[in-house]
Amino acid sequence: MTVHGLEVPAVVVGVDGSESALAAVRWAAGEATRRGAPLRLVGVLEWSAYRPPAAAGVLPEGDRDVLIEHLRKELTGAAAQAHALAPELTVTHHIAVGSPKRVLLDEAGSATLLVLGSRGRGGFTGLLTGSVSMALSAVAPCPVVVVRGKGVPDGPVVVGVDGSVAGALALRFAVDSAARLGTSVLAVRAWSHDRIDPYVLELVQWDGVEDDERRQLEKSVLPAQQARPDVPIETELVRGHPAQALLEAGERAQLLVVGSRGNGGVTGLLLGSISRSVLHHAHCPVAVLTEPLPADPPDVQP
The pLDDT tens digits of the residues spanning 182-236 come to 999 999 998 865 555 455 445 555 556 678 889 999 999 999 999 999 999 999 9
Write the single-letter amino acid at 147. Answer: V
What's the pLDDT score for residue 194? 55
268 lies in a domain? yes
Q: Note the pLDDT tens digit of each residue in 146-178.
A: 999 899 999 999 999 988 888 899 999 999 999
Write the single-letter amino acid at 122. Answer: G
Residue 127 has pLDDT above 80, yes or no: no
CB neighbours of residue 217 within 10 Å: 22
Domain boundaries, position 77: 2-147
pTM: 0.83
Residue 100 has pLDDT above 80, yes or no: yes
- Average pLDDT rounded to a whole number, residues 126-140: 70
Residue 60 has pLDDT above 50, yes or no: yes
Q: Are residues 131 and 6 in the same domain?
A: yes
Residue 280's CATH number: 3.40.50.12370
Q: Are residues 84 and 169 in the same domain?
A: no
Q: Are residues 29 and 129 in the same domain?
A: yes
Residue 105's CATH number: 3.40.50.620
Distance of CA 40 to the CA centre of its chain: 16
Query: Could you tell me what percent of the chain has a pLDDT over 90?
Result: 51
Q: Note the pLDDT tens digit of each residue in 245-263.
A: 999 999 999 999 998 764 4
Average pLDDT value for the chain: 81
Q: Where are the beta strands (DSSP E) in 21-143?
A: 39-45, 91-97, 113-117
294 lies in a domain? no
Query: Could you tell me what percent of the chain has a pLDDT over 70?
Result: 75
What's the pLDDT score for residue 299? 42
62 lies in a domain? yes
Tell which of 116, 147, 178 closes a domain. 147
Q: Are residues 33 and 130 in the same domain?
A: yes
Residue 286, phi then psi, degrees to nearest 5: -120, 125
Provide Rg for the chain, Cα atoms. 21
298 lies in a domain? no
List the beta bridge partners of residue 224: none
Q: Are residues 191 and 114 in the same domain?
A: no
- Average pLDDT rounded to a whole number, residues 122-135: 57
